[in-house]
Amino acid sequence: MVLKVKGVKCIIADSFARIFYRNAINIGLPVLEIGTDVEKIEAGDELDVDMAKGEIKIVNKNITIKTKPLPEFIQKIADCGGLINYLKGEQ
């Protein structure tokens, strides 16, 4: 929850433990796994992330990393701000 409060919009990594992945989705914090492409990203890089397309643009390097987009139902949970808000909207 602290990550969202501090303004983190998404987390990009080579991989995630399943428990972290699920907990992040539950609080509405999208996560993208990009494998070894994570090495292309450095501190200070400007990123433009398109979750629906599964694209991460490193703006200052003119590099685009393609990854598998979030499944539609996970994107909906993230768009609602987390699982609880999503479930409230389903009622």
Q: Tell which wins on pLDDT, 91 or 71.
A: 71
Distances (CA, A) of 12 to 24, 41, 75, 84, 90: 12, 10, 15, 23, 29
Rounded to two decimals, the pTM is: 0.83
The answer to whether residue 87 sits within a structural domain is no
For the domain that residue 35 is a member of, what is the CATH number?
3.20.19.10
24's CB contacts (< 8 A; 6+ apart) are 11, 16, 30, 31
Any domain includes 12 = yes
Range of the domain at 44: 2-79
The pLDDT tens digits of the residues spanning 10-38 come to 999 999 999 999 999 999 999 999 999 99
Give me the phi and psi of 76, to 5 degrees please: -65, -40
pLDDT 10s digits, 38-88:
999 999 999 999 988 899 999 999 999 999 888 999 999 999 999 999 999
